[in-house]
Structure 1
Amino acid sequence: MAIKNHLPNALTCLNLLCGCVALTLILGFDAGLATFSQQPAFLRWHPMVNAAFLIGIAAVADFFDGLVARALHVSSPIGKDLDSLADMVSFGVVPGAVLFKLLQYILPQTQLPNSLAYLAFTVSIFSALRLAKFNNDTRQSDSFIGVPTPANTMLIVSLPVILAHDKFGLSGLILNPWVLLGLTFLMSGLLVAELPLFALKFKNFKWQDNSLRFVFLLLSLLLLVLLQAAAVPLIILLYVVLSVVRRPAKA
């Protein structure tokens, strides 16, 4: 069998590998999260920050596996199932683990029960529901219904990166248990909400067919330049707002 037939699945497996390694870094880290701000900026390679970068690689692999499969005309039901299984680890279990670890750190400093940290895995449960829904919803071929799991995960894994390079004094907000629990339930709901969102799928590069995508990408780039890691939650918010304000463009 030609090598090209295996290339999309190899990218999917790279996604899965990155998710597995990220998960070991997140759950295997026991030191206090305060160590984020106690090192020089160039040394802040915290395990959870490393995990976030691995998830970034997983997201890139996830984007290109489908693109490559379509370009090479080697799409298959096995590839689709493998993609969902990999996504469940990288974009389902990992975000739950990040929220769990953050809550596990902050809850002992409050009067709230430590067991509330396990509510973080609500995100993982709803990610599974989101992926199952996506696989069986014919409306989601050119757009999405509900926030995609990679977008949700990029928002959540950006939190440790923001903590590591907190130039805007956001640590107190991020490490507030009510904020973390609120984010858990908000994003869980948005994963399965009947909310039409555009997809970053370009069938051509004409402005009239992709104006919404181009505007989103340009604004996202501007936010990243200005705010760096702190821009990620705003980019996800921008994605939702632009989708709500203007229905998904038909490409």
Structure 2
Amino acid sequence: MTSPGADDFEQVRSALAASEVLKHISPAAATTLARRGAPVALTAGVLLAQEGDPGDAVFVVLDGEVEIRSTTIGGREIRLTALGRGSVVGEMAVLDGGPRSADMVATRKTRLWRIPRAALMDVLESEPKACVALVAELSRRLRATNADLEARSALDLGGRLARLLLAEQNARGLIALTQTEMARRVGVSREKVNRKLRDWMNEGWVERTASGVRVLVADRLQGVVKERLSG
């Protein structure tokens, strides 16, 4: 494999500097991690790691997105979270040396930097600020996951779908998800999602465009979520 050039290392260092976990490490330590790592390229739908795999490396997302997901006993996939550019992925298993607790899958074309566990542990031992930041980030992710699970249990289909549309819309109100992906994220069939979207289209809350679903009246969807949570 051809050795990465200076531009590749600079991109890795920039990603590390933007990471909530590793942004406190020194420039020298970031350079060390970059030089001890190696690039990984994935296409959409490809597994980065599977539940039960050894936690032998941590990954920095340079471009794209990695989804963390689990599978129920019945075989249904559950999306736990998704991490994009500048995020650190897979640190839990790396820290305790145990197996991966969930699948990690590229949701689109994704480039990462693989850093061996030994390299990360060496840096953390010499960079106490990075250790503190790591604890804070893991706590934040745990709270976010708990909040998401609580919302899932409290909301019906309408509430979960409204919450998803509001979270995923861009500045123009467009949601870059297919109805199949929406269905997977809210844990129901595509047909049920389609019926609920049709109801909201009839109400004038959303519309279907060539680019996907667009939110027209965000306040109405926010009201759906609040009503379900308060009820």
TM-score with structure 2 length normalisation? 0.28
More strand as a share of residues: 2
More helix as a share of residues: 1
